[in-house]
Structure 1
Amino acid sequence: MNLHADRSQLAVVRSHELPWLPSPLAGVDRRPLERLGGEVALATSIVRYAPGSHFSRHRHDLGEEFLVLEGTFSDEHGDYPAGSYVRNPPGSEHSPFSRDGCLLFVKLRQMAPADRELVCVRPSGKSWPEGDLEPISRRPLWARADIRVDLERWSAGATGTIGSSGGGAEWLLLEGSLGATSDGLASHQSMTAGTWVRDPQAQLGALTSATGALLWVKRGHLPEEGGAPPIET
């Protein structure tokens, strides 16, 4: 299955409007955002675990990156409440489950094969800078070389640019709304919670938030050409 498979192209997906598709295991459903391959695939998805559901033990040959959106996700290594950000590197294994159900944003098979860094940032592990009155505030989650992952908080009325020409940007709108101000992008002008954007070449330009917004943002990892490797470098 190929979906938005050319990662050098702009994609805007309102995930909350997509149907849930069953995974091979009962109680685990997915809303695919991008996918390149069959059941073993480079993929970015919203994943839903029903209460008491579990996934069989598996290995992450090219890594797994996820953000817990709702509920608590668990494996044999611990519990990950809403707001947790985790990078399981290539070669890692686990047997995930959820006691009470959860919702995840998951990226699979997008890390460099030699990456061995395990990252786990729980909500209490990072906080917003005290007294930060900037229109756009960042809470860093992870960074390496030119690639970085942040939570961004936009105040009501804030205007800014997320994308860049060097490796582009990808984001998931967690709360609030954003609007694109660039001409010719009328279909993308209203972005609400659940909207996922992949913008390799900063095509959306300046954005504004009338209501305020909270976003998960990853920068510097996207190819500028269709033939480029679809993984972090």
Structure 2
Amino acid sequence: MNELYCLNMDFDKQVYKLGNQLDWVTSPSDGVSRVHLEREDAESGHTTSFVRFAPGASFSPHTHPLGEEIYVMDGVFSDENGDYPAGTYLRNPPGSQHKPFTKEGCTLFVKLDQFQPGDTQQVVIRPENQQWQPGIGNLEVLPLHQFKTESTALVFWPAGEVFQPHTHWGGEEIVVLSGTFIDETGHYPGGSWIRNPDQSRHHPYVEEDTLILVKVGHLLHLTD
């Protein structure tokens, strides 16, 4: 691990980035900027980022050695395999390759080189294919992917919803897509990123309609 670039790679710590305090930096590709959330090295290894493509921007062809996971937050993201509008969830397995671009611009949440051994599933879930399910209380849940201890889903919280206190076995990672997510540690507006470590505990609630992307159980294999 290159300590010159290392960022938030201690998975035993709680970390967050508030959506109203993001620092966008330019990438090696023209028209593409990023917010670094987790970073093992300069342009390789374990990486988590918000990525913004300006209209007409593209990225050079590249391979995903240990997979790529994408959620399209706004706009339309594209590659040689199709167009992916806002709300689309993608998983490109280890060894896959593509040449991404956008016509109108887009913002993505991207996780690179984090697939567990044996997780080789290609996933494309566009908004028109999403099947929401009732969750605990008044929550609505859209399962996106599950492998071993790891589970990823969209969760809609109606205004005023209070969830039960709970412990994060294997950790929890949240992107607040809209609204404001709240717990004992603070208020997290739309565009925020939160990572809570294994065995952490909180009592979350919302005051307005709130949509989050949440991943749980995935930090176990990173802290072994």
Scaled by the length of structure 2, the TM-score of the pair is: 0.91
- The 5 Å alignment of 1:160-175 reads 160=163, 164-175=167-178
For 1:14 and 1:48, the matched residues in 2 are separated by 16
Take 1:133 and 1:42, find their aligned partners in 2: how far apart are those partners?
A: 32
Larger displacement relative to structure 2 (9-18 or 26-35): 9-18
- CA deviation vs aligned residue, 1:110-138 (integer Å, no higher than 9, x gap): 012443210111111113248x8942121
Per-residue CA deviation, residues 7-65 of structure 1 (Å, 9 max, x unaligned), is 22111111441221111111010011111112113111100001111000000001000
1:161: how far off? 5.2
Structure 1 position 201, deviation (Å): 2.9
Aligned amino acid, residue 27 of structure 1 = G
For residue 68 of structure 1, the aligned residue among 69, 72, 82 is: 72
**Contact in 2 for aligned 1:139/1:152 (Cα 8 Å):** yes
Q: 3-state SS of the aligned residue for 1:54?
A: coil
Kept in 2: contact 1:54–1:96 (CA 8 A): yes
Structure 2 partner of 1:197? 194
Equivalent residue for 1:53, pick from 54, 57, 63? 57
Report the 3-state secondary structure (helix = DSSP H, G, I; strand = E; otherwise coil) of the residue aligned with 2:159: coil
Q: CA deviation at 1:148?
A: 0.9
User: Residue in 2 aligned with 1:152?
Assistant: 155
After TM superposition, give the deviation of residue 207 of structure 1 in Å: 0.7
Q: Unpaired runs of 5+ in structure 1?
A: 182-187, 229-233
CA separation in 2, counterparts of 1:149 and 1:30?
22
> 1:113-152 counterparts in 2 under 5 A?
113-129=117-133, 134-152=137-155
Relative to structure 1, the CA distance from residue 61 to residue 161 in structure 2 (aligned partners, 3 Å threshold; closer, same or farther) is: farther
Residues 1:84 and 2:88 are matched in the alignment: yes
Query: Is residue 104 from structure 1 mapped to residue 101 from structure 2 by the alignment?
Result: no
The structural deviation recorded for 1:95 is 0.3
Following the alignment from structure 2 to structure 1, what is the Cα–Cα distance between the partners of residues 186 and 119? 37
8 Å contact from structure 1 (residues 15, 31) kept in 2: no
> Which is worse superposed, 58-67 or 188-197?
188-197
CA distance in 2, matches of 1:37, 1:147: 24
Aligned to 2:97: 93
8 Å Cα contact 2:169-2:199 kept in structure 1: no
- 1:36 maps to 2:48: no
The residue type paired with residue 35 of structure 2 is R
- Distance in 1, matches of 2:85 and 2:209, equals 24
> SS at the partner of 1:171?
strand
Q: For structure 1, which segment, 162-171 or 24-33, has the greater mean C-alpha deviation from structure 2 after superposition?
A: 162-171
CA distance in 2, matches of 1:29, 1:76: 21
> How many residues align structurally?
220
Percent identity, aligned pairs only?
39
Task: Determine whether 1:213 maps to 2:216.
Answer: no
Structure 1 distance, partners of 2:94, 2:61, is 15
- The CA deviation at 1:163 is 6.2
Q: 1:11 to 1:31 in 2, by over 3 A?
A: same
Structure 1 residues 89, 222: CA separation in 2 closer, same or farther (over 3 Å shift)?
same
* Separation (CA, whole Å) in 1 of partners of 2:168 and 2:200: 9
For residue 202 of structure 1, report the CA deviation from its aligned partner.
4.9
SS at match of 2:128: helix
Q: Structure 2 CA distance, aligned partners of 1:162 and 1:105?
A: 27
